[in-house]
Amino acid sequence: MSSGFPGEASAWKTGLVIFQQPASGVRHTTGVPVAIGVFMLAMVCAGVAAAQPTRTGLGRPATPVEIESWGPIIGPDGAGLPPGRATAADGRPVYQRRCARCHGLTGREGPDTRLAGGQGSLEGDQPQKTVGSYWPAATTLWDYVNRAMPFDRPGGLTADEVYATVAYVLYLNDIVAIDDPIGAATLPAVEMPNRDGFVTDPRPDIAPTAPPGL
Ligand code: HEC
């Protein structure tokens, strides 16, 4: 039986909780709506379910082996960044080949998300959220590019290619120089322009966290 939904019989990876379709052989006559409904619910719950899987009764905690299989998870402090090193000069040809068609040669032209420019615009009438204007840490940029880019082939870059393209995107934002070595030791020390632009969550049930980069 097929519901026609591509995720059927396989697990969805949403946050740290796995959502799974009914095992094959389970009958449900409204396959497509059910699948889409479960999927949408899974997406809505993904943000909170990792912390509270038992409250919704949906999903199950991801196992350490599954989490490991998704590759390194790099937070603001940069812990776990793999070995590797590159400069923006190394990154330019990689960026031009793997990124520019969607983000533009200077990171400003699109057609997809703008990556450069916009610094100081966040409080104006036309805020531009870019890596240079918005992102508080360079380490999580490595994590994001490593995990999610290129958009049509995520996870396809080597660690060095990620360092190289990250260095080039930082260079396009005037944050590093063309020959600055960017690697596990230097990336956490990069000071992002908007590093002080975030506040900790004021809700009493959320423990305070250190500002990014500290
Ligand atoms: C096929 C098109 C495509 C390619 C190729 C591509 N990207 Fe993207 N990129 C996107 C899209 C679409 C988004 C927005 C994704 C979203 O919001 O979920 C994005 C988002 C991003 C972001 C987050 C921007 C922000 O502030 O939210 C960064 C950083 C980024 N891309 C870097 C890169 C790098 C570096 C490469 C090359 C290694 C690359 N991208 C290749 C389409 C692409």
Residues 192/78, Cβ–Cβ less than 8 Å: no
Residues 122/194, Cβ–Cβ less than 8 Å: yes
Q: Where in the chain is the domain with CATH 1.10.760.10?
A: 85-189
Q: Rounded to the nearest 10 degrees, how much is the dihedral formed by the CA atoms of 120, 126, 131, 135? A: 70
CATH class of the domain defined by 85-189: mainly alpha
Task: Report the separation in Å between the CA atom of 112 and the middle of ligand 1, taken as the mean of its atom positions.
Answer: 7
Task: Report the separation in Å between the CA atom of 89 and the middle of ligand 1, taken as the mean of its atom positions.
Answer: 20
Please compute the mean of the pLDDT values over residues 99-106 and round it to a whole number.
98
Q: Is any ligand 1 atom within 6 A of the Cβ of residue 169? A: yes
Residue 100 predicted with pLDDT over 80: yes
Atom of ligand 1 nearest to the CA of 169: 35
Share of the chain above pLDDT 70, in %: 71
> What's the predicted TM-score (pTM) here?
0.75
Residue 210 confidence (pLDDT)? 59
Ligand 1 mutation pick, 97, 98, 112, max ligand atoms within 8 A of CB: 112
Please compute the mean of the pLDDT values over residues 187-198 and round it to a whole number.
95
Q: Is any ligand 1 atom within 6 A of the Cβ of residue 172? A: no
Please compute the mean of the pLDDT values over residues 21-36 and round it to a whole number.
41
Which tokens go with 90? 């190394």
SS3 13: strand
Lowest pLDDT segment from 52-61, 96-105, 165-174, 191-200: 52-61
Ligand 1 mutation pick, 14, 103, 147, max ligand atoms within 8 A of CB: 103
Which tokens go with 134? 């918005």
